[in-house]
Amino acid sequence: MLVDTHCHLDHFSDEEIPAMLARAHAAGVGEVVTINTRLSTAARLRDIAAANANVWCTVGVHPHQAGEEGIPTPEEIAALTEFPKVIGIGESGLDYFYDKAPRDDQAANFRAHCVAARLTQLPLCIHARDADDDVAAILREESGQGSFPFLLHCFSSTRALAECALELGGYISLSGILTFPKSQEIRDIARDVPKDRLLVETDSPYLAPVPYRGKRNEPGYVPHTARVLGEIHGMSETEIADLTTANFRRLYRKAA
């Protein structure tokens, strides 16, 4: 069974979720992680996770929402991880492509999440878009204060950021972008990522993989990304599922 390590179930209606999860299970996706983007919506994600045995969740503030509700303290974020099905922190990071929040607020928000990950030793899901140098700099600075687990989600960044993350012990999660015809550079980077650091995700409802590109994405489509990742590494569909699920268990220790 595969794990969709990053989706947004709260972007779907309560009526849609059961059938969507059933389709995912039929496609070989045994578990999903639904990712928080605002602390004010964390309760809904906890409710979704509590209602579905195969769903986990995280808590955190997306860079687009940084400062929208004030910058949370690391302790506030950490306290929300006490719920049993909260297995990680984020997503947080930096996004200079859309620049929906002031960059100073994005940085302060990102650093608060790094500290929360260090306090809890739960993995931080990192969003990086057009901000690779600053993401790398903050990761190095915060890791210098004490290590913490993390992953670069929906990887579409530079080789330099991938190498920085791997050097610091991070994981790399690949989304449907990996399957796009023009994503050869991402496939080349993915080929060089150690096998024990690879994860797969959908980031649904966004970025549906080929052959569903342009349609609304959902967790049941992650096998298409996994198959391409397996081809890159010369692995069968079963082998890549076993590998990425084992990596997920190692990183997300509360889900082990």
pLDDT of residue 229: 98
Quick one: tokens of 141? Answer: 């600075």
* CA angle at 213 for the pair 211 and 216, rounded to the nearest 5°: 115
Name residue 3's beta-bridge partners: 31
pLDDT of residue 256: 84
Structure-token match 């039929």, residue found: 26
pLDDT of residue 236: 98
Question: Would you write out the chain's pLDDT as a tens digit for each of its 256 residues?
Answer: 999 999 999 999 999 999 999 999 999 999 999 999 999 999 999 999 999 999 999 999 999 999 999 999 999 999 999 999 999 999 999 999 999 999 999 999 999 999 999 999 999 999 999 999 999 999 999 999 999 999 999 999 999 999 999 999 999 999 999 999 999 999 999 999 999 999 999 999 999 999 999 999 999 999 999 999 999 999 999 999 999 999 999 999 999 8
Within 13 Å, how many C-alpha atoms sit on residue 133's CB side? 0
What the chain holds in terms of domains, given with CATH numbers, is: 2-255 (3.20.20.140)
pLDDT of residue 14: 94
pLDDT of residue 82: 97
Structural contact between residues 173 and 6, judged by C-beta atoms closer than 8 angstroms: yes
CA–CA distance, 101 with 131 (Å, rounded to integer): 13
Three-state DSSP state, 30: strand
Write the CA distances from 95 to 106, 132, 150, 171, 205, integer angstroms: 8, 9, 17, 19, 19
Global pTM value: 0.97
pLDDT of residue 37: 98
CA–CA distance, 233 with 166 (Å, rounded to integer): 17
